[in-house]
Amino acid sequence: MLDNKRGWIRIVEAFIAVLLIAGVLLIVINKGYVGKEDISESVYKSQVAVLREIELDNTLRQKILDVELGAEVPEDVLDKISNRIPSYLECGSKICGLNEICELEEYPKKDVYAQSVAITATVTDYNPRQLKLFCWAK
């Protein structure tokens, strides 16, 4: 009679172990950790580096401040962005007022990463703007 109880206890223990393993696997697969590379940190680092370079370049700052709100981003700024962004990313940018919501006209059906920088003044001009950079994987 005692051997019969031990057998049932081992069966219950094995069943619970299988349920725990299956539960963990389902949670991991459901969250997308398996087979999906997280590139968000590298994208944000790239965006911040490019925006910092633009922010510190007096020529590019002046060109951004001279542009009317809602107008196209100057070619020199676009060239700087395209030269510095990694090849696995595609990016768009926009110049808006500091207190405005700055968004793309059309978003791709992918994860979009956005960073912005305030371009407020040069020695002679105070005309605050924000340059927002939107990037996504190709």
Partner residues linked to 92 by β-bridges: 134
SS3 67: coil
Is the Cβ–Cβ distance between 58 and 48 less than 8 Å?
Answer: no
Is the Cβ–Cβ distance between 89 and 115 less than 8 Å?
Answer: no
Cα–Cα dist 27/109, whole Å: 25
pLDDT of residue 36: 61
Residue 91 per-residue DSSP state? E
pLDDT of residue 10: 87
SS3 136: strand
For 73-102, the pLDDT digits (tens) are: 999 999 999 999 999 999 999 999 988 898
Cα 114–Cα 82–Cα 61 angle in degrees, nearest 5: 75
pLDDT of residue 33: 57
Domain locations along the chain? 1-36, 40-137
